[in-house]
């Protein structure tokens, strides 16, 4: 009997009893305002947007363990490359906060 007196009422059970518009005004939270789109910092460090809107990326594998790689291979790794697939480019731009 004592346990029924001390049962905890959660805000969600209260919110289910009131209308949705009251829920937003009484319980401010993620539903009451739009979230802000943040730039993914890891993507920002790895890609650059060129003047035409295309993406520029640097090749991987040139940071360490270069002692056994040939000069031709290391020179090729030093060059940058463009992102050519449309779906990947769209996702990267979305993570950069462009679209």
| Span between the terminal Cα atoms of the chain, in Å | 58
Q: Is 52 part of any domain? A: yes
- Which residues form the domain of 80? 38-99
pTM (global) more than 0.75: no
- The verdict on 52 and 77 lying in the same domain is yes
Q: How far apart are CA 12 and CA 35, in angstroms?
A: 21
Q: What share of the chain is helix, strand, coil (3-state, %, to 5)?
A: 40, 10, 50
pLDDT tens per residue, range 32-68 = 566 677 888 999 999 999 988 899 999 999 999 999 9
- The verdict on 63 and 90 lying in the same domain is yes
**Computed from CA positions of residues 74, 75, 78, 79, in that sequence, does the dihedral angle turn out positive or negative?**
negative
């Amino acid at each position: 009997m004592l346990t029924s007196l001390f049962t905890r009422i959660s805000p969600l059970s209260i919110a289910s009893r009131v209308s949705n518009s009251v829920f937003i005004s009484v319980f401010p939270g993620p539903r009451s305002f739009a979230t802000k789109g943040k730039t993914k910092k890891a993507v920002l460090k790895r890609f650059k947007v060129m003047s035409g809107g295309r993406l520029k990326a640097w090749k991987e594998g040139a940071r360490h363990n270069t002692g056994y790689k040939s000069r031709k291979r290391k020179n090729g790794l030093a060059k940058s490359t463009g992102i050519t697939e449309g779906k990947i480019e769209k996702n990267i731009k979305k993570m950069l906060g462009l679209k």
